[in-house]
Structure formats: structure tokens, C-alpha cells
Amino acid sequence: MDGNIQVGVIMLGVQDVDRAKKFYVDGLGCAAEQDYPGFVRCRLGEGSSSPALYEWEAAARDAGVSPEGSGFRGVSFHFITGAREQVDGVMNRAAAAGTVVKEAAATGWGGYYGHFADPDGYLWKVTTAG
């Protein structure tokens, strides 16, 4: 091992795998690479880590931790695009499939971004620097 850590898959504990799959695959347009009862691994764009949707309690058991937890999880996923139109396109797909947390808007420093949440409350920020 060369000492560099890479993230290939990001496992998301979800309450309803079918609901989460519908959001990511049907709503956001991700491809389902693996699709098993209680587990779905999606493919995002080239070079991106893959989200894996795994039943919440099964994921907790797998890690040997309590499944109890609520509120902000201290994590958000960021999709950095090249243009405002791309931000708007992703935000529109997310709005049709889930919950917009913060509408996309210009910032004081020249950027543009918005936030949406998946059905289990995981936050996504879609942004561009210009």
C-alpha cells in the first residue's frame, strides 16, 4: 500500500432500500450496479465513489454499533459542477425526486449552490465556483 487512502464505496444506512433506490436511480439518474434485496450499489459519474444503499439496522449490526441516531449526521456530499445550469439541472431533478433543503442561489464570493436531501436525510450540496 502506498499510504494513500481512496474511497471506492460510501455506504448509506437507509430505512427503506426500495425508496432510496427510487430516489437515486429513478430520481437522480444513477445506475444500479448491484441490486439485491436490502442492498443496492449505485454508480455516479466517472471517477466518483459509489453510494451503497444498505438497510439501516443491518448496517448498524454489520458495524457492531447501535442503530439509534437522528438529526444532522455531520456529513454532506458535495457535487461540484462547471456551470450554474448544471447546478440548476441537478437541483430540479432532486426537487422532483426528494426534498430541496436550500434553493440554489448566488453567493457573495461569486459561487452558486443549493442543498437537497435524500429520503433518509443525507444532505447533498450542488455547487459551482462561477
Dihedral, 44, 78, 85, 21 alpha carbons, nearest 10: 40
pLDDT 10s digits, 46-92? 888 899 999 988 888 866 777 886 666 667 888 888 899 999 999 99
Whether 118 shows a pLDDT value over 70: the answer reads: yes
Q: Tell me what pLDDT residue 130 has.
A: 65
Q: Tell me what pLDDT residue 93 has.
A: 92
Rounded to the nearest angstrom, the gap between the alpha carbon of residue 54 and the centroid of all alpha carbons in its chain is 13
Q: Look at strands 123-128 and 112-117 and give their pairing.
A: antiparallel
Whether 2 shows a pLDDT value over 60: the answer reads: no
CB atoms closer than 10 angstroms to residue 75: 9
Residues 50 and 44 sit within 8 Å (Cβ to Cβ): yes
∠ CA 80-43-105, nearest 5°, is 25
Residues 54 and 101 sit within 8 Å (Cβ to Cβ): no
Average pLDDT of the chain? 86
